[in-house]
Amino acid sequence: MGETPVFLTRGSPQGRRNPKSPDIARGKTQREEEFDMSATPHIITPAQIQSKLTEALQAVFVEAKDMSDGCGAKFEILTVSPTFEGRPLLQRHRAVNAALAKELEHIHAITLKCLTPTQWDETKKC
């Protein structure tokens, strides 16, 4: 009874944000910074992925499926490229990641299947 409430502020160790921050200068509150809805979300499409991988990896077949109900956050990507010939799976995945570096900034999750044309032909026979 009669206790004085204590309020703690998140931020820097001193409990205050950096006054030189551009958002502080514009007058945004910390809550507005955390939930800035003014920025337009960047939605990646399967066509963008297909185009990028076809060009970067000389892919003969690319199938990108949006598994996130159209919001472009989760993809399953099948890439068939002769550049994968003789390369281990990890190097193939790294090549795809490098080709999609800018797109991956906006994608939450990807599942990759990277095949050579020979491997692709064998899977089609089954």
pLDDT > 90? residue 7: no
Domain ranges of the chain: 9-39, 46-125
Tell me the pLDDT tens digit for each residue of 15-54. 555 555 555 555 555 555 555 555 556 889 999 999 999 9
pTM of the model: 0.68
- Which CATH number is 46-125 given? 3.30.300.90
User: DSSP assignment of 51-114, as one string?
Assistant: HHHHHHH--SEEEEEE-STTSSSEEEEEEE-GGGTT--HHHHHHHHHHHTHHHHTS-SEEEEEE
